[in-house]
Amino acid sequence: MAIIKEDISRSADWIAHSLSSSGYRADFTPHSLWDIDRFFDDHSSEEAAKPCGLLSQDLGQRIFAIGSYIGEVAPRKLGGEWNGNDEDPEAEIRVELQLPDGTRCWPVVRAMKRFKNGAEDSIAAWGSGAGLDVGPQNERGNGRSRDFSDKVIWNLPQSHVIGNFVANGSKLPRTTVPSFVPTGGLYPFVSEDNTPLQTRINTGRTHFIQT
């Protein structure tokens, strides 16, 4: 197997796990492409990654991984084959997917366009055009977040947090989320037993996702 194909498979699996851990549906089904659009809406705006968002670091690697994921959705449902030249210095961008009906597409390029142009280059629309039945769009997708709205933990300002852990290593007391927490953000926490947790504050609801 060519190196670029190995990179695609590995990157697609990696980003699927990461997205699922952050509350997005990433199970390689056509319908999951709606959640890829939601991910871009949540973490990018006007050709830039949102500060402290999940695209604010390692942007190139993550865009490639997302392109790999959306490309892998099609072959798992329709069949198809990746084609790429390992000698090409831009192989990660130019790698193409050929579907059984002869359609050729460039999923990584599509991910780059989605980041740059926003919803007008929808990933779900791309999948539909490739022959996938993406189904109707859900308001907030079908992430696997667990609702613990009655058992939340104190949120520290983002500047006090490194990765999934509190900067000083202290454990967080269990209490309620203060009213100043904005909706739609991702916030890292450490639970009372020092287990890394993330929470997404969505329209006044709180969901905990173990990473």
Across the range 12-23, mean pLDDT stands at 96
Region 161-181 average pLDDT: 33
Nearest CA among 100, 97, 78, 87 for reference residue 12 = 97
Tens digit of each residue's pLDDT (9 = 90 or more) over 76-108: 999 999 999 999 999 999 999 999 999 999 999
Distance CA 211, CA 207 (A): 13
State the chain's mean pLDDT as an integer.
74
pLDDT tier, 40 (very low <50, low <70, confident <90, very high otherwise): very high
Average pLDDT over residues 161-178: 34
pTM: 0.66
Q: Are residues 19 and 56 in the same domain?
A: yes
Domain boundary among 98, 129, 160: 129
Q: Which domain holds residue 176?
A: 146-210
**Pairwise CA distance, residues 148 & 3, whole Å:** 43
- Please tell me the predicted confidence (pLDDT) of residue 208: 34
Cβ neighbours, 10 Å, residue 54: 18
Asked if residue 136 belongs to a domain, the reply is no
Q: Is residue 189 part of a domain?
A: yes
**How many whole angstroms separate alpha carbon 110 and alpha carbon 63?**
10
157 and 102 within one domain: no
- Side-chain-side CA neighbours of 108 within 13 Å: the count stands at 26
Indicate the number of domains in the chain: 2
Of 24, 102, 117, 135, the C-alpha closest to 69 is 24
